[in-house]
Structure 1
Amino acid sequence: MKTKIQLLLALLFPILLCAQGVALQQFATGFSRPIDIKHANDSRLFIVEQDGIIKILDDQGNTNSTPFLDIDARVRSTSNEQGLLGLAFDPNYATNNRFYVNYINISGDTVIARFTTSSNPDIADDTSEEILLTVSQPYTNHNGGSLAFGTDGYLYIALGDGGSGGDPDNYAQNLQSHLGKILRIDVSGATGYTVPATNPFVGNVAGLDEIWSYGLRNPWKISFDSDNGELWIGDVGQNNREEINNVPIANAGYNFGWRCYEGNATYNTAGCPAATTTTFPVAEYNYGGSPFRCSITGGYIYRGNMYPNIQGWYIFADYCSNEIGLLEPASGNTWNLTMTGSGFSANISTFGEDMNKELYAAGLSNGTIYKIFDPTLGIEENSLTNNYQLYPNPANDYFQISNQNTASQIKEVVIYSLNGKLISTRRISTENQKITTDKLSNGIYIVQLTSNNDAVSYHKLIKN
């Protein structure tokens, strides 16, 4: 039988590899304008709500009744792009209990603040706030908001160009302004922050010490590739291009081009430096069209183990079209971009990783958290007349088999690894019997079902 399984896989998986993509599976509901998803290197997910609340979601999709942090009274969220916008946990959070937030205060300005967790690990101390940096915002939009720690241990802060349209005050190219920049600071000290000596303008009056890179319009979500440490930026365009930037952090001082360029296209080059000094995007897509695309939501490089087909792909979304975007690595350090419908009208506002590097997304308009999965793994090889399905799939502790009847009852369930190794054999006798999976490692398996008339079908099972 092992030979038969290996033959099935050889025939089946080349087909799967030709039709790759991702889809969304509902994981949890009941949130109010979720705008960021982070983990603290444990099984919890921290869901940031725009009004100023952070909630904890466990690995079974249950939400803690008490918020982790509630600073609603300190946060201004009256405009669509204001609010509590970003969260990052200190690399040493397990020992120092420190985390960082990016929010718009009651005056309408950006605040970067540090908090600590209370004696209860599920509740932060809201009196522990230390404001590290305040940046004046001239308009209500283009606030950016992402926070993330790089592999260098420094905190990266993404700020938009200050708003309005077309960057009328040229903040993104102005090195005496924090706006339209990625800032980098060292928060490892007991209080406050210092500036890394490797920041490009340290000791140079031409630019502010905190600036690490510049020339961004509204960087809506940044992330670091957990494999190579490179930075990914989804930068929202004006009315022509949505762009994706990718750079190594070993270097600094990148000029990503705005307002001189929108993506690869010229926008307003008056007073701009030579194009040869600009770091252009690794990918872009057009604003408008049908479905209507208007605002990129930056995502992550997938580095999880559950879906090998999409390993190393950058996954993002368009907020307006509700499409999931994919960047597939191609030859010569290039990327192939595709956009696919998600099937949801959720307005994807953010992506997030869990501690196992599996990906999630949040729907701003419907308050739903989704888990990213590879739908091509749901293709079945079924020789039976009944359309059997495994559920839940992905599974945690068990799965069951649907669409059975008296005439075609499943009598045996055999689980194989992807390389054809026999994992377990189970005889079942009732229609609703559960098949336990709690002893399986996370990953993908092939399940062979044999009916009471000895017909056989094969199904893929994902174990969370």
Structure 2
Amino acid sequence: MKPRNYILLALLFPILLFSQSVDLDVFATGFSRPVDIKHAGDSRLFIVEQDGVIKILNASGVTNPTAFLDIDARVRSTANEQGLLGLAFDPNYATNNRFYVNYINLSGDTVIARFTTSANPDVADDTSEEILLTVSQPYDNHNGGSLAFGTDGYLYIALGDGGSGGDPQNYAQNLQSHLGKILRIDVSGATSFTVPATNPFVGNPAGLDEIWSYGLRNPWKMSFDSNNGELWIGDVGQNNKEEINNVPIVNAGYNFGWRCYEGNSTFNTSGCPAMSTITFPVGEYNYGGNPFKCSITGGYRYRGNLYPDLEGAYFFADYCTNEVGTLKFSGGTWNMLFHGPFTGNIATFGEDSSKELYAAGLTNGIVYKVFDPTLGVEENSLSNQYQLYPNPAQNYFQINNQNAASQIKEVVMYSFSGKLVSTTSITTENQKIMTDQLSKGIYIVQLISNNDTVSYHKLVKN
């Protein structure tokens, strides 16, 4: 593998040297209790609102005026943890237009349903609903809600232990209940679903066929690492530990320990299996303290290109402190850091089609973009071949060494935090890229050559 060389822009701007290494930039506002962020393989982000609405947020930070899906009338969201909770697009969405949602119905039970998009790709057909699975909920909390497709093509469904406190019916360890589990189903057929033959209890009356793993309290957000396919789960604790689980999906039947264990600590080991059979978390932090931590929001492992220093870091947040946490493997161990605090009670993270990360505040309705304020930009041969001039710029800039043999075909500009600002197609040599409409500040310019080679450059607008 070729070594990477990085330009640390913080060296050019010493004021940033004392900033935290993770920051959030306001990307869009005006949402009502956003609880999930997903993409469909293109530049759009789909923002799930808890009351039962999904909206489309474009790469420019503008929200479509018409909702993608509105099933508010079918969704019960009277309790804090009820509502429309999860969204996943079919791996073949580009051709079959199918997507899946996880919501609490008017009876208070979990529904896993499939919808299709209408002839308008920005509007779903709300009459196309096919209910695949309904799970009875004994209480109104601990519903989980995440949906995600694994690299195996199967749909994974995260469900909490049914609620109350301490899992009074021990649903998480009960293999005859869907609660406190991650289910795995095959939705590739024309209708309904089948159960993968590799699920651990297929043909075994000891457990339900749909169960893939168990022993979870309230898995509030799970995701798959887009690099290696491993599953990451943020599991909300009782009153002692908040935990992060990480497992490969080539295996199945993991017991994550609840209610026998809360994180790595014992909780109620009556009738529990041997400790050696438990899959313990790769990361945990204490509930309580000052500032008061109370509830983990699971996120994603960073696999984007804009911030190489963040490569491989797992992002999560605490709902009460508004801190963003990172868990990164170094020196043979997982190291946890907290950044912030921020605002809005972060209730979800999301990944766009370029693998850049976003977060959303439940109570302030803001979608943020995650960025590294020290901003390492990767150099390559194209970076050295071209320069921007004048730089700093006022009304425009140009690209030197721009000729027919080495043509730049497109110039994409981002804010310092990675928000898309403009895209310009280059049609003539020495073409000016106008900047008079930009505010003063620092921008990142992406140059795309005619053979799709990409480089990044810093531009200062005066």
Classify the TM-score, shorter chain: 0.7 to 0.9
Change (3 A) 1:176 1:99: same
**1:195 paired residue number:** 195
Q: What are the equivalent positions in structure 2 for 1:314-463 lying under 5 Å apart? A: 314-332=314-332, 334-342=333-341, 344-377=342-375, 421-427=384-390, 432-435=394-397, 439-440=410-411, 461-463=443-445
Q: CA deviation at 1:125?
A: 0.3
- Is the 2:390–2:398 contact (alpha carbons within 8 Å) kept by the matching residues of 1? no
Change (3 A) 1:259 1:120: same
Deviations 1:350-380 (A, max 9, x none): 00000000000001100000000001229xx
Residue type of the partner of 1:112? I
Deviations 1:420-461 (A, max 9, x none): 6152242389x852447993468999xxxxxxxxxxxxx974
Deviations 1:182-231 (A, max 9, x none): 00000000000000000000000000000000000000000000000000
Residue type of the partner of 1:341? G
Q: What are the equivalent positions in structure 2 for 1:48-197 lying under 5 Å apart? A: 48-197=48-197
- Is the 1:147–1:158 contact (alpha carbons within 8 Å) kept by the matching residues of 2? yes
- Is the 1:20–1:310 contact (alpha carbons within 8 Å) kept by the matching residues of 2? no
Aligned-partner Cα distance in 1 for 2:6–2:190: 60
Change (3 A) 1:109 1:160: same
Q: CA RMSD in A?
A: 2.8
- Is the 1:418–1:444 contact (alpha carbons within 8 Å) kept by the matching residues of 2? no
**1:257 paired residue number:** 257
Percent pairwise identity: 74
TM-score (norm 2): 0.83
Residue type of the partner of 1:175? L
Aligned-partner Cα distance in 1 for 2:6–2:395: 29
- Is the 1:352–1:361 contact (alpha carbons within 8 Å) kept by the matching residues of 2? yes
Aligned-partner Cα distance in 2 for 1:91–1:10: 38
Q: Provide structure 1 residue ranges, at least 5 long, that are not aligned to the other structure.
A: 1-5, 379-393, 395-415, 446-458
Residue 94 of structure 1 aligns to a residue in which SS? helix
Change (3 A) 1:174 1:61: same
Aligned-partner Cα distance in 2 for 1:36–1:243: 20
**1:390 paired residue number:** none
Change (3 A) 1:444 1:63: closer
Aligned-partner Cα distance in 1 for 2:304–2:86: 23
Aligned-partner Cα distance in 1 for 2:66–2:259: 44
Q: CA deviation at 1:162?
A: 0.1
**1:282 paired residue number:** 282
Aligned positions, number: 407
Change (3 A) 1:311 1:78: same
Aligned-partner Cα distance in 1 for 2:276–2:18: 37
**2:312 paired residue number:** 312
**1:400 paired residue number:** none
Aligned-partner Cα distance in 1 for 2:113–2:228: 28
Q: What are the equivalent positions in structure 2 for 1:222-233 lying under 5 Å apart? A: 222-233=222-233
Aligned-partner Cα distance in 1 for 2:144–2:171: 14
